[in-house]
Structure 1
Amino acid sequence: MIRVLDFMFAAMGLVLGMPVLLVLAMIGMFDTGAPLFRQERVGRYRKPFIVFKFRTMRPGTMSVPTHLVDGSAVTPFGRFLRRTKLDELPQLWNVVKGEMSLVGPRPCLFSQEALIAERARRGVFDVRPGITGLAQIRGVDMSTPELLAEVDADMVKRLDLLMYFRYIFLTLAGRGAGDRIRS
Structure 2
Amino acid sequence: MDPSRAADQVASERAHLPSASATPAATRAGDLDQSVFRASMGRWKAVPGEGDEGTYQPNGSWVHALDPAQVVQGLSLQACGKSPALPQPKHVLASDYRDQGNRPAVGQALRFADAGRAKAFAGAYAALLKTCTARKNPMAVTVLSTSPQLVDRRAMLADGSAWLEVVSVQGNLVKLFAANEQDAKLTDAEVQAITKAI
More strand by share: 2
Alignment TM-score, normalising by the size of structure 1: 0.29
Higher relative contact order (CA 8 A, sep 6+): 1
Alignment TM-score, normalising by the size of structure 2: 0.28
